[in-house]
Amino acid sequence: MTAANPVTTAREDGILVARIANPPVNALSAAVRAGLLAAAREAAADASVKALVLAAEGRTFIAGADITEFGKPPVPPSLPEVIDALEALDKPVVAAINGAALGGGLEVALGCHARIAAPGAKLGLPEVKLGILPGAGGTQRLPRLIGAAAAARLASEGEPVDAAKAAQLGIVDAVAEGDLLAAAKAKALALVGTAPRRASALTDKLTPATREEFEQAAAAIAKKAGDNPSVAAILDCVRLTFDTPFAQGMAAEREAFKRLVADDRSKAMRHLFFAERESSRIPGQPKGTTARPVAKAAVIGAGTMGGGIAMCFANAGIPVTVIETSEEGLQRGLERVGQTYDISVKRGSLKPEERERRMGRITGKVGLEAAADADIVIEAAFEEMGVKKDIFGTLDRVAKPGAVLATNTSYLNVDEIAAATSRPGDVLGMHFFSPANVMKLLEVVRAEKTSPDALATAVEIGRKLAKVPVTVGVCFGFVGNRMLSKRTAEVERLLLEGASPSDIDAALAAFGFRMGACAMGDLAGLDIGWRIRKATGKKAPVADALCEAGRLGQKTGAGYYRYEKGDRTPHPDPAVTAIIEKLAAERGITRRAIPQQELIERLVFPMINEGARILEEGVAYRPGDIDVIWLYGYNWPAQNGGPMFYAGLAGLPHIVERLDRFAEQTGDESLRPAALLRRLAAEGRSFADLKESDVAALSAGAAPAKAPAAGA
Ligand code: CAA
């Protein structure tokens, strides 16, 4: 099958079967669109053809529009044109849906007169996740087929439904018990001679009662979505189905699509879609490297982190031993895991029997010898080099040959930890983010001597645990926390210069973060950073003073904010203002009101600067990797694409100018723009223009580079 001819037709049992083969996911490229249109015309023109069945080869039906074509000049035929032609046929048209029918893929199926799905199929309209809306009739046909409220929910949430749910909603006519194609053909033949059921012409779901139901659903959706323009456009377009002819609704949908797809917001979200996929590729892996098999895991430490990591394994169906130094510590940890599962059961997101199955996969043991039969061991003990070295020294003795030995350290040197063993090739970092059972990011830290197959194992296991694994090199704090530390330092300075914790959090909220830095600190516990600072001899006057005053965050009812008992709402606290004012006075700082835009730039630009240094050193392989890390590890707002993508939106020359100004203002020379940032700004380029090979070349001469050149 060539890419030029990705749709082939065959006459089978009086039916024209059009097969789509456009690997890997049958995206609707111009050639696929042309092929589908040709198939519709072929079916119409041949009197011996009784019906048309659309089927797809490979692992999926159609993953949607070809996202790589967005923003480029349109190539005819357009997708709405193709779908109209399919729907207009007077002969039955049936979609045989295997795998995913997403976005434009589902819209093609909605243009058919009937849909049969394989049991494992997933159907959905994920466009909202790309900052757009369904642009080929999804907002017009789906409400007419299944009702406006259900259609609005599906399109605004963007989550696919499985075949059974799709049948229940009325998206598909049936779920095939056996052979999918045979079932679709049988359906097509059964429809011969009947009036085609065209979704665009259905009216029975458009009643005053369903309108009321839709408006209620729309109000709830709009409230939850805030100022998300994709969701607003989806609701507007779906609403049109009640009183506007189909063609006019289609025109409105097209206009909204064109507006949204040209917006920076959608560009940022599309960037993240591809960056996430690219981040799973590890440069420098020898051809043929395969992951080691993992049937059993062990987690050292039953604290919050260890417990969360153990849950990830149990959720993925992998038996895991949790190891502690004492029976009490172990019991406390296992109880906490049980309680976390209980909350899910109570909320209805986990069935009680599934809770039991998951708990059944977790075994608690005292003593490192219990790691002997694990294929992968993840250490989540105290953040102290001495403790880590002791553990890895013992693991070296007790772990079975070939076991991957990972540390969950969030900033310690993994090379040094690896050196405590006689098998550094098996050692690497697997840095989970808190809460480990929820956050999707996994920083996989490739140490100097980590072997390719150990690295491949960590990445593959990460994916099995439903994480997004991003491989990074060794440095203090790796990528995410190293950049975060720059923001934290600015929080300290800004508090002393005149901002309040609420000002800082409001600025970050205005930027798009769901939680500000101070509220996040209170949630995580201010003592974590305090302990690290004490161990490393660093100081943070405000945070240190809060901790010294017993204000450790939510757990003590006070941190940057004050909390009422049993309530997580942060309240500004005059006691904090007093602490900060005293510290500022001691330092001779005259506090001032700082405009919100300045707060945002002071908080975000130093992080971008550190990201540039990280690229210079080769600690991250690609700017997009940094963006993915911030998206999944720290809830960076997707609509501006991650710190490095956002730099392009803010303008590199502007960032350079501001960083120079901040350095002068604060006397902190480390705020001066990184050489890479200056160079790109001078050349009129952005980070998005940097390829993996550029980064590899940059870091080739840099001292701490851990990334071998691409393809090495
Ligand atoms: N366009 C172009 N490329 C796509 C694509 C698309 N719609 N969907 C996936 N790909 C590419 C990926 O970039 C990846 O490429 P590389 O191998 O080069 O990295 C490759 O296909 C495989 O993708 P995944 O790694 O994601 O494979 P998977 O098996 O894990 O997941 C999938 C498959 C569920 C289909 C997933 O790829 C996916 O969710 N795709 C996007 C679906 C989507 O958002 N569709 C809506 C498009 S917009 C639209 O359709 C607008 C409209 O109304 C007209």
- What residues have CB less than 8 Å from 293, skipping those under 6 apart? 375
Say how far apart CA 292 and CA 30 lie, in whole Å: 40
Strand, coil or helix: 174: strand
Contact 300, 379 (CB under 8 A): yes
Percent of the chain with pLDDT over 70: 98
**Which among 105, 130, 122, 189 is positioned nearest to 160, based on CA atoms?**
122
Q: Cis peptide leading into 643, omega within 30 of 0?
A: no
- Distance between alpha carbon 206 and the CA centroid of its chain, in Å? 36
Band of the pLDDT at 77, cuts 50, 70, 90?
A: very high
Assess whether the C-beta atom of 135 lies below 6 angstroms from ligand 1. Answer: yes
The dihedral through the CA atoms of 156, 157, 163, 167 has a sign that is negative
Say how far apart CA 221 and CA 473 lie, in whole Å: 41
Residue nearest atom 10 of ligand 1, based on CA coordinates: 25
Which own/partner contact pairs does 691-695 have at CB distance under 8 Å and 24+ positions apart?
691/622, 692/283, 692/621, 692/622, 695/615, 695/618, 695/620, 695/621, 695/622, 695/623
Token pair, residue 494, equals: 């800004």
Distance 549 CA to ligand 1 centre (A): 52
Q: Which of 36, 67, 255, 622 to mutate to test the pocket of ligand 1 (most atoms within 8 A of CB)?
A: 67
Query: Which ligand 1 atom minimizes the distance to the CA of 67?
Result: 1
CA triple 306-311-316, angle to 5 deg: 135
Say how far apart CA 211 and CA 203 lie, in whole Å: 12
Residue 517: pLDDT over 50: yes
Per-position DSSP letters for 431-477, written without gaps between them: EE-SSTTT--EEEEE--TT--HHHHHHHHHHHHHTT-EEEEE--STT
Assess whether the C-beta atom of 66 lies below 6 angstroms from ligand 1. Answer: yes
Assess whether the C-beta atom of 103 lies below 6 angstroms from ligand 1. Answer: yes
Band of the pLDDT at 438, cuts 50, 70, 90?
A: very high
* Pairing of the two strands 93-97 and 114-117: parallel
The CB density around residue 569, as the number of other CB atoms within 10 Å, is 9
Contact 136, 80 (CB under 8 A): yes
Q: pLDDT value at position 5?
A: 84
Residue 430: pLDDT over 90: yes
Strand, coil or helix: 401: coil
Q: What are the residue boundaries of the structural domains of the chain, listed by start? A: 7-264, 297-472, 499-586, 598-699
**CATH superfamily of the 297-472 domain:** NAD(P)-binding Rossmann-like Domain (3.40.50.720)
CA atoms within 13 A on the CB side of 582: 10
Contact 688, 662 (CB under 8 A): no
499-586 maps to which CATH number?
A: 1.10.1040.50
Assess whether the C-beta atom of 136 lies below 6 angstroms from ligand 1. Answer: yes
153-172 burial, b at 16+ Cβ within 10 Å, e below that, comes to bbbbbbebbbbeebbebebb
* DSSP element (H, E) containing 161: strand 161-162
What DSSP state is assigned to residue 95? E
Q: Which amino acid is at 524?
A: A
Percentages of the chain per state (helix, strand, coil), in multiples of 5: 55, 10, 35
Phi, psi values for residue 413, rounded to 5°:
-75, 115
- What residues have CB less than 8 Å from 516, skipping those under 6 apart? 501, 504, 505, 506, 507, 508, 509
Sheet arrangement for strand 174-175: 7-12, 15-20, 51-56, 93-97, 114-117, 174-175
Band of the pLDDT at 710, cuts 50, 70, 90?
A: very low
Band of the pLDDT at 691, cuts 50, 70, 90?
A: confident
Residue 476: pLDDT over 80: yes
- For domain 598-699, the question of CATH label 1.10.1040.10 is answered with yes
Contact 504, 516 (CB under 8 A): yes
Distance 280 CA to ligand 1 centre (A): 14
Say how far apart CA 550 and CA 548 lie, in whole Å: 5
Say how far apart CA 25 and CA 286 lie, in whole Å: 26
- Distance between alpha carbon 471 and the CA centroid of its chain, in Å? 15
Question: Could you say which of 3.90.226.10, 3.30.565.10, 3.40.630.30, 3.30.70.1400 is the CATH number of the domain covering 7-264?
Answer: 3.90.226.10
Distance 103 CA to ligand 1 centre (A): 10
**Burial of 93 per CB tally in 10 Å (0-12, 13-18, 19+):** buried
Strand, coil or helix: 428: strand
Q: Which residues pair with 253 in a beta bridge?
A: none
Residue nearest atom 13 of ligand 1, based on CA coordinates: 274
CA atoms within 13 A on the CB side of 264: 11
> pLDDT tens digits for 365-386?
999 999 999 999 999 998 889 9
Contact 421, 392 (CB under 8 A): yes
**Catalytically annotated residue among 107, 383, 443, 617:** 107
Band of the pLDDT at 705, cuts 50, 70, 90?
A: very low
Distance 68 CA to ligand 1 centre (A): 10
Radius of gyration of the chain (CA): 28
Assess whether the C-beta atom of 107 lies below 6 angstroms from ligand 1. Answer: yes
**Which among 113, 119, 108, 75 is positioned nearest to 94, based on CA atoms?**
113
Q: pLDDT value at position 707?
A: 40
Residue nearest atom 20 of ligand 1, based on CA coordinates: 24
Distance 63 CA to ligand 1 centre (A): 6
Say how far apart CA 560 and CA 518 lie, in whole Å: 6
> pLDDT tens digits for 255-313?
999 999 999 999 999 999 999 999 989 988 999 999 999 999 999 999 999 999 999 99
Assess whether the C-beta atom of 253 lies below 6 angstroms from ligand 1. Answer: no
The CB density around residue 508, as the number of other CB atoms within 10 Å, is 24
Q: pLDDT value at position 399?
A: 98
Token pair, residue 603, equals: 């908080």
Find where tokens 């210079």 sit: 616
Sheet arrangement for strand 122-124: 100-102, 122-124, 161-162
Q: Which of 20, 22, 25, 59 to mutate to test the pocket of ligand 1 (most atoms within 8 A of CB)?
A: 25
* DSSP element (H, E) containing 378: strand 376-379
> pLDDT tens digits for 319-355?
999 999 999 999 999 999 999 999 999 999 999 999 9
**Catalytically annotated residue among 12, 87, 127, 253:** 127
Mean pLDDT over all residues of the chain?
Answer: 95
Question: What is the SS3 assignment for 244-258?
Answer: CCHHHHHHHHHHHHH
Say how far apart CA 343 and CA 157 lie, in whole Å: 23
Assess whether the C-beta atom of 27 lies below 6 angstroms from ligand 1. Answer: yes
Q: What spatial distance separates the first Cα and last Cα of the chain, rounded to whole Å?
A: 32
Question: What is the SS3 assignment for 524-579?
Answer: HCHHHHHHHHHHHCCCCHHHHHHHHCCCCEHHHCECCCECCCCCCCCECCHHHHHH
Distance 171 CA to ligand 1 centre (A): 21
Token pair, residue 483, equals: 């950049």
Helix count and strand count (H, E) for the chain: 29, 17
Phi, psi values for residue 468, rounded to 5°:
-105, 100
Residue 700: pLDDT over 80: no
Q: Among this protein's residues, is 127 annotated catalytic?
A: yes
**Which among 137, 136, 145, 141 is positioned nearest to 170, based on CA atoms?**
145
Say how far apart CA 378 and CA 429 lie, in whole Å: 9
**Which among 434, 361, 490 is positioned nearest to 635, based on CA atoms?**
434
Strand, coil or helix: 509: helix
Residue 589: pLDDT over 80: yes
> pLDDT tens digits for 615-671?
999 999 999 999 999 999 999 999 999 999 999 999 999 999 999 999 999 999 999
Q: Which amino acid is at 212?
A: E
Percent of the chain with pLDDT over 90: 90
Q: pLDDT value at position 693?
A: 86
Say how far apart CA 29 and CA 35 lie, in whole Å: 10
Whether 7-264 and 499-586 share one fold: the answer is: no
Q: pLDDT value at position 712?
A: 30
